[in-house]
Structure 1
Amino acid sequence: MARILVAEDDPSVRAFVVSALSLKGHEVVAAEDGGLAAEIAEEEQGRFDLLLSDIKMPIMDGIALALHVASRFPQLTILMMTGFADQRERAHGLEALIYDVITKPFALADLLAKVDDALVGRPVEVVSLGRQAMGQ
């Protein structure tokens, strides 16, 4: 399976995402902010298949993280997530760097489908029956 770097400042969302991706068989490394994620990416020399990052975070937000990672490791696919419409708008214009933005709260099936899709590099239309929120 894939090696995924997750950057998410909310502990419950981070735990949900890490658990879901780990259960799917992915190797997951998690960071609680963009600054730590950037450090991990550097330490690992970009040896990840996917960066899954929240947009709004302290220290270094997801947009700055995406710009940093894309400049250093252009082969790394970047998938963003946010619960704020204005933050989603900030990601527009970065289409060349960011694969897509998934809106929180998302159902487990939606998250896994979007991650799988980003890993193979094709857009997906996710249809959920019985959307489940992230346990909040």
Structure 2
Amino acid sequence: MPRVLIADDEESMRTLVARAIAMDGHTIVTAEDGAEALEILTSDAGAFDLLLTDIQMPVMDGIALALTAARDFPDLTILLMTGFADQRERASGLNALVHDVVTKPFSVADIRTAVADALASRKRD
């Protein structure tokens, strides 16, 4: 059963995404920002299959989180989310580290498909 860490500063988005992904049987852990997500990753020695993080967050944004997570946990698959075009452009330079960027708003089906695709890519690597 894949473990997914979700980092998003918007509680309603965190809850929606967690519920959507849990429908597929994944174990979900959530964080309110990148710093909390990094603490969770570190305390669990990176024992997650997927990091799903918003880009724009206080304390530590998703780009800084993705860079640190990719450096410290190179086997971790990373999926970014954003509702801002300029943030998507910032993420375009991370193609080697990040599986994909999901654009908000998205449907439950969209995020479930994106997560399934990201997790399936782990098996192909």
* TM-score normalized by the length of structure 1: 0.88
* Partner of residue 64, structure 2: 64
Does the alignment pair 1:83 with 2:93?
no
Amino acid at match of 1:12: S
Distance 1:91 1:12 in 2: 23
Q: How far apart are the structure 2 equivalents of 1:41 and 1:22?
A: 19
Tell me how far apart the structure 1 counterparts of residues 121 and 19 of structure 2 sit (CA, whole Å): 23
| Length, aligned pairs only | 122
Q: CA RMSD in A?
A: 0.9
User: Please, which runs of 5 or more residues in structure 2 have no aligned partner?
Assistant: none
Q: Which runs of 4+ in 1 moved over 6 A?
A: none
Distance 2:63 2:93 in 1: 11
Residue in 2 that maps onto 1:46: 46
Give aligned-pair identity as a percent: 59
CA distance in 2, matches of 1:70, 1:46: 10
Q: Which residue of 2 aligns with 1:35?
A: 35
Answer with 1 or 2: which has the greater Rg: 1
Which one has more relative contact order, counting CA pairs under 8 Å at least 6 apart? 2
TM-score, normalised to structure 2, is 0.95
Q: Is the helix fraction higher in 1 or 2? A: 2
Gaps of 5+ in 1: 123-136
Query: 2:16 — aligned with what?
Result: 16
